Amino acid sequence: MPVKPLPRDANLEHLKYQAKDLIKAHAARDPQAAQRIREFHPRFSKATDAEIFSSRLRLSDAQLTIARERGFASWTRLKKHLEKPVRAGDTTLPAHERIEDPGFRRAVDLLDAGDLEGLSAHLKAHPEVVRQRVLLEGGNYFRNPALLEFIAENPIRHGKLPPNIIEIAKAILDAGARNDPAAVNETLGLVCSGRVVRECGAQIPLIGLLCEYGADPDSGMGPALPHGEFEAARELIRKGARAGLAVAAALGRVEDVPAWLATAGSEERHLALALAAQFGHAEIARLLLDAGEDPNRYNPVGAHAHSTPLHQAALAGHREVVRLLVERGARLDLKDTIWRATPEGWAAHGGKTEIVEYLHGRTREIPAG
């Protein structure tokens, strides 16, 4: 769920104007506005564009959307942060430096140092720490983590993990974290989508440990696939995760698509097109488009929802997928919801000159007005 971090000079009046602008965009039936509302307003999370546009958007609804888009749970929380900033909301600092509770911070410091003996003693003296969560607002995710979640180094804080991270994780689990299924599943998702934990050689062992302690393998698949963590996805399947249409689309298993497509629901088909486009599987994208998927829907939450399939394919340089999407009616003027750029702009940012030229040429073919 990408968010827009607050700038240092943010003020409430400017954010109020943003909420009013969102109401105007909603009234104008702007698809970008619909995606923002769908992604950040809980009441509209499953709504179609048409359902969103047919609903009244009150100022309080727009303000809630803006607050959550900035990484805060409510407009009240955002207002409180602006009026009296606290260290926990300073997104310029790494997560461990934003922790205000001294007992929790000490546990994270011992974890990061790989001090197994010290951490075990600390948790024995302060058993409440493993049940505790800290509030870290203003970011994309990791806004209410438990201690166990810090083992994944995701978000990146140090760029490395202690060599004994498996033993550290086991100590935290044995100290009581195993009794918090939500934290165990959330940690699995962070491990499965993390670059540092993979580079340190700890991703697969941690997946095994967390699943041994009751993590649901399916809870890691959603984070793994959009981040291209395919070895993690394969390990999750070995641990019992469901291998459905989205998995086939991400991994390029075109031979598996027809069977899964016949039984997949609309949400999984939507995700499958997003993943096929992102990873350049043109034949799978073609099968999904033939089955009726809309190339102009923004991607689902959790799969780069600020962009469309064409944005992702253009950025990655997947020429065949780009051409396929355009030929099937993908709009060239749709802008992402964060940087407000078209797919051509994304291709330019990624240095994909051939795709820039192709999209620019197709844009010129579209009659004005």
Rounded mean pLDDT of the chain? 96
Residues 6+ apart with CB under 8 A from 304: 2, 226, 274, 278, 311, 312
Cα distance between residue 107 and residue 101, in whole Å: 10
Task: Look up residue 134 and give its amino acid.
Answer: V
List of long-range contacts for 360-367, beta carbons under 8 Å, 24+ apart: 362/326, 362/332, 363/332, 363/333, 366/332
The pTM for the full model equals 0.94
pLDDT in tens, 275-292: 999 999 999 999 999 999
Burial pattern 266-287, b for ≥16 Cβ within 10 A else e, equals eebbbbbbbbbbbbbbbebbbb
Of residues 322 and 84, more confidence is placed in 322
Give the 3-state secondary structure of residue 239: coil
Cα distance between residue 184 and residue 333, in whole Å: 42
Give the 3-state secondary structure of residue 147: helix
Residue 25 backbone class (left: φ over 0; alpha: ψ -120 to 50; beta: rest): alpha
* Tokens 């981040």 -> residue: 227
pLDDT in tens, 303-321: 999 999 999 999 999 999 9
* Tokens 């749970």 -> residue: 73
Q: What is the DSSP letter of 200?
A: T
Which phi and psi angles does 302 have, rounded to 5°?
95, -10
Do 210 and 191 touch, CB atoms closer than 8 A?
yes
Residue 367 has pLDDT above 60, yes or no: no
Cis peptide upstream of residue 367 (ω within 30 degrees of 0): no
Q: Which of 268, 218, 265 is nearest to 248 (CA)?
A: 268
CB atoms within 10 A of CB 216: 18
pLDDT class of 9 with cuts at 50, 70, 90: confident
Rounded-to-10 torsion of CA 327, 333, 335, 341: 100
Do 148 and 130 touch, CB atoms closer than 8 A?
yes
| Domains detected in the chain | 12-84 (no CATH), 95-242 (1.25.40), 265-365 (1.25.40.20)
Structure tokens at 236: 């999750």
Q: Which helix H or strand E contains 112, and what residues bound it?
A: helix 102-113
pLDDT in tens, 330-364: 999 999 999 999 999 999 999 999 999 999 999 87
Structure tokens at 282: 């043109």
Residue 116 has pLDDT above 70, yes or no: yes
Of residues 366 and 33, more confidence is placed in 33
* Tokens 């993590």 -> residue: 215
Cα distance between residue 293 and residue 198, in whole Å: 33
Cα distance between residue 55 and residue 329, in whole Å: 27
